[in-house]
Amino acid sequence: MAKADILNESLWDAYSNKVTTLMNNPQHQGELFENEVEERGNKLIVADFGAESCGDAVRLYWEIDPANDKIINSKFKSFGCGTAIASSDVMTELCIDKTVQEAVKITNIDVELALRDDPETPAVPPQKMHCSVMAYDVIKKAAGLYMGVDSESFETEVIICECARLSMGTLVEVIKLNDLKTVEEITDYTKAGGFCKSCIKPGGHEAMDYYLVDILAGPRKEMDEDKMKAAADASTSGIADFEGMTLVQKIHAVDAVIDESVRQFLIMDGGDMEIIDIKTEEENIDIYIRYLGSCDGCASSSTGTLYAIESTLKEKLSTKIRVLPI
C-alpha cells in the first residue's frame, strides 16, 4: 500500500460516524421565517458568524418564547465544509429546549464532544478541528441580540486569541483532550495563532498578556507526567491491559514508552519520530510512525532502528505490536 493511501485512509477514519452522517444528512439545516414565528407569538433571532480567512460561516436562527426565554426551535445555514455543517447541526440541537441564558453556556468543546462516537476519541482530524469552533461565537451573538446587550458581555474568561475568539480555558481543555504537543497542533485544532500570529509568542504584531507557548507548557508537563505513569502501569500490569485500551490510551502508552526508552537516542542522532495511527486487527496491533529529522531516509530506520523500536514496544506493551514506518 502506498504512503498516500495509508494517509488518506487514516484521515477519513479520523472522522466519527456522527460527523460523516450529519455531513450528508443534517437534521436542523434550514430557515425560520419572521411572519410564521410571530404568528405563534414568539420572537425570531438571526445571528451570523464567519471566519473570512477560511471561508466558513454560519447563520443561526432561534425561535424564542418571550414568556420564559426558552428556545423552542432552531435552524442553521452553513457556508463551509462538511465538518462545519455537522458541527453547526449539533450546535443547533444543543440549543433547542434551553433558555437563552442556558444556551449561552454552550461551548465549542461541548459541540465537539457531542460529535464523538467514543468520549476519548476526537470527532474530526486535527486539520479540520477549526471548522467546529464557531458555535460559541454565534450563540453569543444570538443571545446578545435577544437580550439587547453586547455579545462580549458574556465573556467570563481571558481571551488568548482575539482573531479566533478562544479563551485560556478552552485552549487548555483542547490541549488536554487531544494530547497536543506543539503550538502548530494547537493552531490545527483551534485556529488560534493562525491569523495575525500575535498570540503565539512575544515579538508578534501586538503585545499580549499571555502566549500560546506559555499556555502549552503547563498542561503539557502534567500530561507528560501522566504518560510516564501510564507506561509504568502498563509494564507492570500485563499485556492484556494494553490490548484492552482505547485508541487514545494506546497512543498515550506508546508515547510514554518511546519517551522513556527510545526518543533520547533518536534525538542524539539529530532525528525523532511521531505516531501517525494505531490499527488493531485480530493478530496484530499495527503502529504507524513517521521518522523526523535525520531519521527520515536513514538506512537504519528500516532495519536496526525499526527493530529496536518494535522490540521495546513488544517487551513493554504487547507482543502483537508491529511498527510500520510511512
Task: Identify the residue whose cell numbers are 508515547.
Answer: 255
Which entry of 95, 131, 199, 295 is annotated as an active-site residue? 131
Q: Is residue 295 among the annotated active site residues?
A: no
Task: Identify the residue whose cell numbers are 485500551.
Answer: 245
Looking at the DSSP bridge assignments, the partners of residue 44 are 63
- The DSSP line for 116-184 is -SSTTS-SS-GGGGGGG--HHHHHHHHHHHHHTS-GGGG--S-EEETTTTEEHHHHHHHHHHHT--SHH
215, 221, 227, 229: CA torsion to nearest 10? -140
**Cβ(171)–Cβ(210) under 8 Å?**
no
Instruction: Output the nine-digit C-alpha cell for 299.
Output: 538506512
Q: CA–CA separation, 229 vs 152, rounded Å?
A: 41
Q: CA–CA separation, 24 vs 85, rounded Å?
A: 9
Q: Is residue 131 among the annotated active site residues?
A: yes
CA dihedral over 275, 119, 142, 44, signed as positive or negative: positive
Q: CA–CA separation, 232 vs 316, rounded Å?
A: 9
Q: CA–CA separation, 129 vs 175, rounded Å?
A: 12
**Cβ(185)–Cβ(200) under 8 Å?**
no
**What is the set of active-site residues?**
54, 131
